[in-house]
A and B are shown apart, each in its own frame.
Chain A
């Protein structure tokens, strides 16, 4: 490659030809160029134009992702013009993005509480998490959950289908659950920062501000004029809506965080702003509310007995409430009027009437409240206004004179104006009159002229964004700023003030708030019913209430709150409007970064229905930005082309091929499109509700399905696994480049299953029922039973079985438990035992039956021959590696398979040979090699070569083609490939598949490799695909009667002695055992005690025959499997991400998985095995998985090749690691392998070709 020089942002860079500008800029870490359409794993494309840069001498900006560098180029990656261009690109993209980042509920909540998030958490039963989420914005959910005006529910999109979701009742539900606990959730309070803040006014705004400042470490004092905290929540909301006890409780949780409370302290009377500063407060928050009642402007309002003001009337209830009787008239239409009327009823009034000058439509009170009042028998006289007070000479109220009103249209956006109808006066007799027409701010605290600046209507003047007042260090919020407003708005301002004050205390300045970019459907168009037609109608769960007769004579809380069933049913009504990709969306991230404003470009928007027909993938074309990453990944990497573009121009969009449902295309459900999608256009369909804006943590791990060992990423919220993704950068850098198959991407959902076993259980002796027991009981019971059987039948009657899904550490420990603890060599795995799969076919050749090539070799292979493997179904990622090699290296794929499979389409040569004829084919190939002088071994060098050649003589081409039923032309093509001794050939063979296997074909491959000298040549060899994550490790660890760890065979006396020494016992008495055929032993009924770890042989009833002698069965598993159901003891297993462990891939890489979440079972698997083993041999003691690993490295000769005895590097990341391909010294009887007698003996045993 030619070296060239380019100048980027004034910096000279030397690099090689052929790279793109973006690559060079990123490689040299000169700048981070934004891009949406670029994915380094696929061909450059250039569509989003976010990555534009300027090249001197070119008159237009160029997309850096697909512009190759040229010698001498002078490049600028950042200037005002470039930024403007990038910003416009984003604005254009977002001007056609009919989608919501967050739901309308959260958007309309003044306090921005993530309603979708807590609803999702409630639906999962995670009430504490729900409460924590709510309290991030609102520290008073117990109270607000009862009294909120619910702007969220007004905005709720569910209303388009039926009724809004009961968002507020759900919030109350989460808060109530917490309140019922013995210990409530308490937030973390930061260490004191030495700052003192005075909060004046203990209402919702003041409490909120105090709460958040306290959490930040400030020392806060609340000054309250009235005797109790709570403000209007305490003094304005009647008991039957918000019991004082509940409010007090919630206030106490806040003040208990360390807030100093001074009640009966009035601003302007007992202290003022200056005195606070003098007392050492660094900042002040004024939230004194609006408590002064507005008058009805009626004559004698002040001096008539029986006339009251609503707000004062409410303040006194219930203990000191006046006893009322007769008729009460309440004037007004707001919540205070309704509250006063309903309270009046409860104070003993016989009849309560509300007089309101407009109609019900204009009434500002919440409709639920109006409805409840009417239910309780309160009469509302609409279009009626008091004109004068009627009283007797004793100034005792007798009634009021009213006027009927009519409404006239007012200006746009205003309520209609009521005007009196002339001559409509009538008298309304009453005993009490309560005026409830509003409140205002009482500004008597302020020193006119010298104090704080006020607005003309008496509220405090603030900077609307930061809430700073005219005095430095003094902030104000809540009703005293807004005038009478909602509690949730007061809370929102309290939090905003806390943020301002916190910044002010730390920096001396206050920052304007940064509004994140959020896309909303309503920016473009109203959401109409047909868009939501796929949702079924579900009636809202009505809030349970006390019946009218039981509530109107007392102050008992009317609303009873949802029960669990209602809460869960209601939570499932949420439509999940907010985007599931909120946190991962690159489009949103850049929109924030570039501060986009789409208003200039608003116009027509595409609208599509969301396609949820695929079981795992949701397609929302509304969010598609036409970057084509999915289309290109599907065609370039997978070569599946399930997705494509349709239409042209503005209408161009990604759709499944032929616009069919995705599942009806070639889609293989690998989910790699979801991974590469930079927005939420392609997302995963979760088995749970979408979690709003909750962040999830990323945990890299290794896939636990097949033995390729793909690196994956778990997205975890709290201790709950949410899903597997492949997006983080480090996973992209892995050997599988982040690409996964359906199992890896979606298969790990089983870890979330609710029916996991969590506690050990023992079968009741008489019934087929289990009782849960402690760990100790279960293990003791097992040991006792096994001991009894050993006593009766001897150690040979016990067998231990392990699963190839267990880690090396578990498996090593398991065989040691059997051999050292139980003193039996009956150790194995049903995965190998049941079907008699040959685990030793290559032993004679290479010393062990393991891969000689690595997956890296595929990249440079000239020919890949796949025999007995349906990669598309079994090991998709291996198939992707072959496809990549085909594309980049020109690798030829030869597929030997009797029938057409998906891979056939990509094969350069498909040998459609008859099933069972693989060995014949291979022998024919070897004959060709010898005949034509391509053998790498010379005739005279090898004793017995003639025998081989003679045997192969019986495989002439015409006989091979006839037996294999392939055309001579195809055979000829196949043979041509054998004629180039330089060609690197890699065989891929699925050891665990019996579908296309023929007897001895694996041995034949081994011989072919040796004959052509390819067995130890870099780049050539065989890869044995295995079915389970640790099928290789299982053999490596000696979980088989045939070998000790490290493939130590019966005749390797020294090795056996060495291992015995390490295990502190004479192992030669145990290994080799007399009879190593476990299957036969089981069938004969010789095994009396069977300990099965992680396997489920009885999922096939036929396998019961292996259990005929079993008197005691212990099963260790995550689920109650068919085998577990038969067990005497069932011990719950931890999953692979609940503990540390290493796994060995099919091509001999040892990869490490760190514990991601603690075990659900409370015990890690290695600990369980160790505890059991210790019951038999005290020497089996370990402190941790890494302790076990240290021993593995000592005992297993192939695991100890790393310097300092470490397999993993310090970061703990999986790392490529060979444990040896040099098998030469492995078998003392086979010192030179190819030249040995054994080698040719092996050949002698081959299937002979018979005419």
Chain B
């Protein structure tokens, strides 16, 4: 029977996927077709959404950028007339789909995303779902499970990179009658959406990972802390949990074993700092999400002072695969210190923005160019910002750097949870640092002096620099404050908040200096430091810019070269945007 899958993760829905789904459904009914229509999660190619996959007796056909109108035609021509519409199909099969988008990927976490219907526990089970937990319950002791995870070399995918097996072992060894498992789904980095996609596309693998962790640590209750801004993920998680409860996978004596296990969902209100584990715990307990000092670590004293194991979504999603395929299979991928794969959310000035799961050890250039298809608009690649606001910039010249926890940390950035923002020549690095610092400043819980006021003062210095009022000594002031903030704050948010500033100063110091001493933004980005100018040779005198200028700062006769009155110009950039002849230049 022919099957049609519509990508209905948030990316698909945002591109109009629901209308496409409805259209197909309507067409199927009207034409009385024998077609199995279902929704699925994100397969990673967010840039090609809405994706509709048609699987018939012959082959898989992946249609990209489908609209309701297109869908109507696909139904008519492909399904009724059996004539696939070649021009809309993304070329190639399997790994070749999307011109090599999948070629260098290795999908473990995303193994089911975009393939199965996330609302169907059966489909998950058809793909070996819930086998791993049953294996554990029947065949392995908790210690053996922990050993397997230790051997696999899995490290926390939330950003810290702490060995998962070791963490579980701490929780297992901790004294206490009651233990908890927490899944951290408070994904908050700007530009990161790995966890959301995993939860939307394959919630069961996360639940199964949590069950295995609970078995290993001796816990019988769990919380998934997921931000309320992820309604679809919450909806699908709730469905998945209900399905598990119905099947006896959750509750008492799960899978007929002696283990009891329940999972609760706690919706977070979207505070970035609640991704920090102690703040997250405080928030579940109903208190203000404020970090506290560790030790004691949550493994010893966590939720309601009981031993608690916290991992993030991606970490848990890896676990069933490792149990099923063995620690060695996982450890065979990657570098010496970093095993397995890592999911990255590609964003920024890149052609193919979306989700990519790559084996550890792949280089930045491979991700940017081979998977991401290079920089948009043929601009020059400048740097990647990795690790979100806690991370840093890695410049283009270090593009051969291997994805590895230790290697990335050495650059001053961090692996982070997987946000990877690609920057091109038009990105001002000072402005970028300002953007991230502004984010952390607003999201700081306000507890520690250095984070609350120190980051604010750094931000003010950056604002000063980008508005052309930078002073001699500002870079040193930034460095000095950054060092103190890193040293004198309680949690990861504060300790890493200066990273974007420090890495940009480290790799792009000249840009800072140009802003401060030459009052110039080399990327022509900072409005206060940009002057607009019309290149008389290119200008055709079409008058469009003069008409659009809100302050009448552009003069010139029809069909004659125009010029900008810089005293009047408010640097809104409208002329630059509207000029069709690239005659307006920024200096």
A→B interface (CB under 8 Å)? 44-49, 52, 60-61, 63, 66-68, 85, 88-89, 92-93, 95-96, 600-601, 603-604, 625-626, 628, 644-645, 647-653
Contact = CB atoms under 8 A, between A and B. Distances in A.
Contact of A63 (B273, B295, B443, B490): B490
Nearest to B486: A60
Given A60-B486, A648-B442, 4 more contacts: A47-B449, A49-B448, A85-B488, A649-B446
Contacts of A652: 444-447, 452
Nearest to A652: B446
B72 interface: no
Given A61-B487, A68-B295, A92 B457 contact: yes
A85 B487 contact: yes
29 contacts: A45-B447, A46-B490, A47-B490, A60-B487, A61-B487, A63-B488, A66-B293, A88-B481, A88-B484, A89-B488, A92-B450, A92-B453, A92-B454, A93-B449, A603-B460, A625-B449, A626-B449, A626-B452, A644-B288, A645-B446, A648-B271, A648-B443, A649-B443, A649-B452, A649-B455, A650-B455, A650-B456, A652-B446, A652-B447
Contacts of A650: 441, 444, 446, 452-453, 455-456
A85 to B, nearest CB: 6
Contacts of B452: 626, 649-650, 652
A648 B295 CA distance: 24
A92 B477 CA distance: 13
Contacts of B441: 649-650
Interface in B278-310: 288, 290, 292-293, 295
A645 B288 contact: yes
A67 B456 contact: no
A732 B578 CA distance: 71
A49 B456 contact: no
Contacts of A47: 447-449, 490
B15 interface: no
A603 B446 contact: no
Interface in B1-59: none
A85 B456 contact: no
A68 B484 CA distance: 22
Contacts of A626: 446-447, 449, 452
Main secondary structure of the interface of A (DSSP, over half): loop
B195 to A, nearest CB: 22
A67 B296 CA distance: 10
Contacts of B486: 60
A52 B457 contact: no
Contacts of B490: 46-47, 63
A95 B457 CA distance: 9
Given A60-B488, A603-B456, A649 B444 contact: yes
A52 B454 CA distance: 16
B487 A93 contact: no
B484 A604 contact: no
A95 B453 contact: yes
Nearest to A90: B449
Interface of B: 271, 273, 288, 290, 292-293, 295, 441-450, 452-457, 460, 477, 481, 484, 486-490, 495
B440 to A, nearest CB: 8
B293 A63 contact: yes
Top 5 A-B pairs, shortest CB-CB distance: A652-B446, A92-B453, A603-B460, A60-B487, A650-B456
A92 B449 contact: yes
B85 to A, nearest CB: 51
Nearest to B457: A601
Contact of A89 (B271, B295, B449, B456): B449
Contacts of B484: 85, 88
Contacts of B271: 648
A1033 B64 CA distance: 91
Nearest to B441: A649
Contact of B293 (A67, A603, A644): A67
B446 A651 contact: yes
Contacts of B487: 52, 60-61, 85
B193 to A, nearest CB: 22
B292 A46 contact: yes
A60 B450 contact: no
Nearest to A653: B446
Contacts of A63: 293, 488, 490
A96 B484 CA distance: 18
Contact of B488 (A44, A49, A648): A49
A945 to B, nearest CB: 43
Nearest to A88: B484
A52 B490 CA distance: 11
Nearest to A43: B292
Contacts of A46: 292-293, 448, 490
Nearest to A96: B453
Contacts of B446: 626, 645, 647-653
A313 B470 CA distance: 58
A390 to B, nearest CB: 56
Identify which of B273, B293, B449, B454 gathers the most chain A CB atoms within 10 Å of its CB. B449
A45 B448 CA distance: 10
Nearest to B494: A49
A334 B450 CA distance: 52
A653 B446 CA distance: 8
A338 B273 CA distance: 68
Contacts of A44: 293
Contacts of A92: 449-450, 453-454, 457
B294 to A, nearest CB: 10
A603 B457 contact: yes
A648 B444 contact: yes
Nearest to A647: B446
Contacts of A85: 484, 487-488
A478 B526 CA distance: 55
Contacts of B481: 88
Identify which of A48, A61, A650, A651 gathers the most chain B CB atoms within 10 Å of its CB. A650
Contact of A49 (B292, B450, B495): B450
A1044 B273 CA distance: 68
Contacts of A604: 456, 460
Contacts of B443: 648-649
Contacts of A651: 446
Nearest to A94: B453
Contact of B453 (A60, A66, A93, A647): A93
A655 to B, nearest CB: 12
A603 B463 CA distance: 11
A626 B271 CA distance: 19
Contacts of B448: 46-47, 49
A625 B446 CA distance: 10
Nearest to B271: A648
A46 B294 CA distance: 11
A678 to B, nearest CB: 13
Contacts of A601: 453, 457
A88 B488 CA distance: 10
Contacts of A45: 292, 447
Contact of A628 (B447, B488, B495): B447
Nearest to A650: B456
A600 B477 contact: yes
Contacts of A67: 293
Nearest to B439: A649
Contacts of A96: 453, 456
Nearest to B495: A60
A44 B487 CA distance: 19
Contacts of B477: 600
Contacts of B449: 47-49, 89, 92-93, 625-626
A647 B441 CA distance: 12
Contacts of A49: 448-450, 488-489
Nearest to B438: A649
Nearest to B480: A88
A626 B288 CA distance: 14
Contacts of A68: 295
Nearest to B481: A88
